[in-house]
């Protein structure tokens, strides 16, 4: 079997790989799991000469484990590397089916904003959103959203939103070419620390 390019044997794979990413500036990188990969990701997070916003990150793993599971390679990669170099603005969402209900869990929110533009519902980096999408009958869905943010609320709260199919209507295009400038004005500083209970 013939290989094009240089073949190198390196004593410390994570350091060599981090150096390669820094010097070669790849356009994409495929991530896997394991202890060697974890060490690589930790070094990637501190690689100063890499513009990670220009790198497409893919997961090349033979299995999929839910992101919240301790054995999840994707979860490990996000914690050790991705969240350090490019925090999620509006979190990470993972969906699954529970019988006839599609459940989407979102975590990792970093927007420091509000859950509602009309009401004063703050959120923190501890926010966990659970959406439950259920088809009631033809043309009708029920969306149940649970907000769980122990830093902002005393207990989780839930809102149910009925959704209706609107046939023979047209979707209107929406362009957000200045979205980042708009979002800057919506960002707020974290609330002050709560005084201790007596």
- Residue of 94 and 68 predicted with greater confidence: 94
Which range is least confidently modeled, 53-57, 61-65, 86-90, 191-195?
86-90
pLDDT of 71 strictly over 90:
no
- Residue of 162 and 171 predicted with greater confidence: 162
Write the CB contacts of 3 (distance below 8 Å, at least 6 apart in sequence): none
Which range is least confidently modeled, 75-79, 135-139, 190-194?
190-194
For residue 123, what pLDDT is reported? 81
SS (H, E, C) 158-173: EEEEEEECCCCCCCCC
**Backbone phi, psi, residue 146, to 5°:** -110, 125
- Residue of 87 and 82 predicted with greater confidence: 82
Has this prediction a pTM greater than 0.85?
A: no
For residue 125, what pLDDT is reported? 79
* Cβ-contact 173, 155 below 8 angstroms: no
Q: What percent of the chain has pLDDT over 70?
A: 62
């Amino acid at each position: 079997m013939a290989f094009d390019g240089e073949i190198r044997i390196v004593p410390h794979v994570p350091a060599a790989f981090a150096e390669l990413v820094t010097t070669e500036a790849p356009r994409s990188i495929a991530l896997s799991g394991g202890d060697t990969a974890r060490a690589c990701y930790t070094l990637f997070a501190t690689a100063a000469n890499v513009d990670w916003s220009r790198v497409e990150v893919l997961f090349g793993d033979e299995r999929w484990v839910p992101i919240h599971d301790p054995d999840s390679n994707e979860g490990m990669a996000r914690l050790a590397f991705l969240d350090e170099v490019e925090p999620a603005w509006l979190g990470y969402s993972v969906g699954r089916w529970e019988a006839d209900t599609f459940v989407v869990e979102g975590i990792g929110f970093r927007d420091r904003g509000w859950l509602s533009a009309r009401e004063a519902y703050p959120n923190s980096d501890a926010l966990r959103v659970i959406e439950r999408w259920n088809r009631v009958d033809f043309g009708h869905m029920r969306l149940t959203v649970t907000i769980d943010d122990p830093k902002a609320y005393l207990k989780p709260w839930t809102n149910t939103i009925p959704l209706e199919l609107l046939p023979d209507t047209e979707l209107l295009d929406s362009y957000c070419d200045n979205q980042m400038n708009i979002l800057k004005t919506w960002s707020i500083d974290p609330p002050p620390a709560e005084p201790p209970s007596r």
